[in-house]
Amino acid sequence: MTFDIDIAAAFTAEGADRFEVTADLSVPAGETLVALGPSGSGKSLLLETIAGFHDHEGTVALDGEDLTDRSPEDRGLGFVFQDYALFPHLTVRENVAFGARYHEIRNPDELLSEFGVSDLAERYPPTLSGGESQRVALARALAVRPDAFLLDEPLSALDVPTRATLRELLADVLADETAVYVTHNRTTARVLADRIAVVHDGEIVQTGTPEAVFERPESPFVARFTGANCLELDDGILDTPGDSLDFESGSHLTIRPEHVALGAAAPDFTAPVERVLREDGRCRVVCSVGDQRLDAYAADPPEGERVGVALPRERVTVLRS
């Protein structure tokens, strides 16, 4: 099932300014497209518009069939909400079976077993943990045999170990399914996406494979949001204490922290270490390049107040003005 999405939508919440989002996307059958962007960028509005919750210009089509004028329940889509949206007065089994009033559904007990929550069938949502609620919400979305999935940051409220476990589960669930997944989490995007669409201020500013988006950002915003270093260049020169590096003329140099080499035998320059932050099994080293920040990773904290820095040219992207 291929999504063709060409929309312009606007939304005004009570007491808020009007917000608009535009998108021109095609999601091939079996692909998971992750809409990645900061809070307030328009990701959820985009997803809700595809689902049919907002009026919009343009069209939403699935396998060439125009869904634009159809109600949400008649679009053949499985929607997983950020807050799970389980009905508190229904049992877990009844929540999973809810779609039976609109569609032929899969056996709820089989789905609960697949998601490892069979023992919760007679429980009510207020008694469930976040991870349990999310498994039930995913089972409910699958029950209606959707043609495609829409997922709105379903892992954002979970603790780190539970998020990691359910991320693996989602990778299995979405394999070979057509899906649009919204998140602000870079790790989730890299794990789940076949392609990523970066959303900023209501517009899609870059689309590509995870490798292309993370390794070859096309703007300073994409570089910084995806976690890359983004250093301003002066006429193609990166000024460093005691040295200067010449790069292709451009306005910014980007390189991911994991590609910056510290303590290299032949460093490009040395830089003062401003801070060392311990992260899962490694250290994030924050250095100063002039008045700019450069992050790198090291297995152990560097010794001394300065450290040698090398920037592998094949890992560097220069963004022109």
pLDDT on residue 208? 96
pTM for the model? 0.87
Determine what percent of the chain is predicted with pLDDT higher than 70: 91
Residue with tokens 């009026």: 55
Cα separation, 56 vs 94, whole angstroms: 33
**The pLDDT of residue 56 is above 90:** no
- On average, the pLDDT of the chain sits at 86
Which of 204, 224, 244 is a domain's end point? Answer: 224
Q: What is the CATH number of the domain that holds 155?
A: 3.40.50.300
pLDDT on residue 258? 95
Cα separation, 197 vs 28, whole angstroms: 14
Tokens standing for residue 9: 């939508």
242 in the same domain as 217: no
177 in the same domain as 272: no
241 in the same domain as 276: yes
267 in the same domain as 197: no
Tokens standing for residue 113: 């077993």
Q: By residue range, what is the domain housing residue 142?
A: 3-224
Give the least confident one: 27-36, 241-250, 252-261: 241-250
Give the C-alpha distances (Å, rounded to integers) separating 174 from 74, 139, 194, 277. Answer: 21, 12, 10, 35
Torsion of CA 237, 240, 243, 249, to 10 degrees: -10
Beta strands 195-200 and 32-36: pairing type? parallel
pLDDT on residue 19? 65
Across 163-174, average pLDDT:
88
144 in the same domain as 25: yes
Tokens standing for residue 77: 């889509």
Across 146-175, average pLDDT:
86
167 in the same domain as 285: no
Q: For the chain, what is the domain count?
A: 2
Given pLDDT bands bounded at 50, 70 and 90, which one contains residue 142?
confident
**The pLDDT of residue 247 is above 80:** no
**All residues at 6 or more sequence positions from 21 whose CB lies less than 8 Å from its CB, including other chains:** 7, 8, 9, 10, 11, 42, 45, 46, 49, 199, 202, 203
Q: Give φ, ψ of 110 to 5 degrees.
A: -65, -40
**The pLDDT of residue 193 is above 90:** yes
pLDDT on residue 244? 54
User: 170, 192 in Cβ contact below 8 A?
Assistant: yes
Which of 224, 245, 277 is a domain's end point? Answer: 224
113 in the same domain as 214: yes
Give the least confident one: 77-86, 111-120, 164-173, 312-321: 77-86
Which of 224, 245, 272 is a domain's end point? Answer: 224
144 in the same domain as 44: yes
Given pLDDT bands bounded at 50, 70 and 90, which one contains residue 241?
low
Across 197-223, average pLDDT:
95
Q: What is the CATH number of the domain that holds 310?
A: 2.40.50.140
